[in-house]
Amino acid sequence: MASRTLYQKQADTRTKKALKLRASYDTKVRKYALALLAALDGAEQARVRINRINALYGVDISPETLMVHAMRQATIAPSLRGPLDDYSPGEEIQLFAPALNGNGGLALEVEAVFGELAGGLATPVNVPLAVADLSGFITPQGLDLYVRANSSSGPIRVTENFMNTSIQLVSGEGGYLHLGQVAEGETIVITFTDQSQASVVREYVAPNINLG
């Protein structure tokens, strides 16, 4: 089998990095969309309480800020819930197709859009296993935990002791542990383990997730 040309190697490298970047920001969009939905739900609870105070005590307090009112009128929550309900994390499979040869086999010029700098690539840095994010989000199904970690040794296995489920993360990217209904105050132990068998343990105490 003929060895791959510099052109093909460059195309493959750029494609893999771009797909990794796309996946990373897909995760972030989902994370922040869930956070915004939780915030809007909290604002709605505040609105109901203040309206009740107005009715009980004969006062006239504005139940919500102008910004929250504008966002509610813009039906942002339904617009966000639709895509979040329709598409599960990681359900879109991307098949990587190696590039065919071109440009006489020579690599193309470096481009800033790919994060490339003239003069070559940066020297790889050894990154020990570290937890970058552990956040809880209330969904219609219960509690989800968003987890993210970094390690230069390769993929990271994340396990939890409540449902005894696990997911595998790419270093620097995040993912979700779906726990369902969890009692308030329940302590969930999350273990991060990288390819060098280094482990980091974190605990998360469940909030009140009463969806009634």
CATH number, domain of 167, equals 2.60.40
Domains identified in the chain, total number = 2
Domain match, 114 and 184 both: no
Q: Three-state DSSP class for 92?
A: coil
Residues 6 and 110 placed together within one structural domain of the fold: yes
Among candidate residues 80, 98, 122, the one where a domain is terminated: 122
Q: Quick one: 83 and 166 in the same domain?
A: no
Segments forming the whole domain that contains residue 81: 1-122
Structural domain contains residue 210: no
Among 63, 87, 122, the domain boundary falls at: 122
Same domain, 12 and 108: yes
Predicted local distance difference test score (pLDDT) of residue 119: 59
Residues 136 and 116 in one domain: no
pLDDT score recorded for residue 13: 86
Among residues 122, 155, 190, the one where a domain terminates is 122
71 is a domain residue = yes
Query: How confident is the prediction along the chain (212 residues), in pLDDT tens digits per residue?
Result: 568 888 888 888 888 888 888 888 888 888 888 889 898 899 999 999 999 999 999 999 999 999 888 888 888 888 888 888 887 766 666 666 777 888 888 888 878 787 776 555 544 556 788 898 888 888 888 888 999 998 888 889 999 999 999 999 988 888 899 998 898 889 999 999 998 889 999 999 988 766 44
Q: 172, 147 in Cβ contact below 8 A? A: no
At residue 140, what are phi and psi to the nearest 5 degrees? -60, -25
Q: What is the dihedral of CA 95, 101, 107, 109, to 10 degrees?
A: -80
Write the CA distances from 96 to 15, 19, 20, 113, integer angstroms: 8, 9, 12, 20
What integer pLDDT is reported at residue 123 of this predicted model?
47
What is the Cα–Cα distance from 142 to 122, expressed in whole angstroms?
43
